Amino acid sequence: MSVPCFAVQEIGHTLVGENVWMPTVTIDVSDSPEVADLARVHAVEGVGDVSTVALRQDDAVVIGVRLTKPVEAIFAVAFHYELHKEFLREVADAGALVFATTNTEHAGEEQPLWLSVDIDGSSLRQTLMLDDE
């Protein structure tokens, strides 16, 4: 099975509740319709089962996401370690990450569906700490 791996386009935060900001990464899923549709599926069917793993590969930290319910899907996002390590620490602390899969410039007025998943914060923290040694 081929696993789509997306490069980070931009990082930021999304307001998900009153004064609650969630770490957010923008990825281009235009060539992966199965990943592009995950936010809609999860909005309709519920969150389901999600697991994540974080790995260091050269100058990249790769977060792998596997969903088994309500649909099966797997994808990964590659972050540049030096550029994104503080953001990744925020993700680990939050224990969640929003994957923005549409144009972020129009998000305020369009309010698109984006995929929010729980992240294994301890695994991510361990990956980041190992890299700092």
User: What is the C-alpha to C-alpha distance for residues 126 and 132, in angstroms, rounded to an integer?
Assistant: 10
pTM of the model: 0.86
Residue 132 reports pLDDT greater than 70? no
Residue 106 reports pLDDT greater than 80? no
**pLDDT range class, residue 19, cuts 50, 70, 90:** confident
Q: How much is the mean pLDDT over the chain?
A: 86
Residue 65's SS3 state is: strand
User: What is the C-alpha to C-alpha distance for residues 76 and 54, in angstroms, rounded to an integer?
Assistant: 9
**Where are the domains positioned within the chain?**
5-132
- Report the DSSP pairing between strands 5-7 and 73-80: parallel
Q: Above pLDDT 70, what percent of the chain?
A: 90
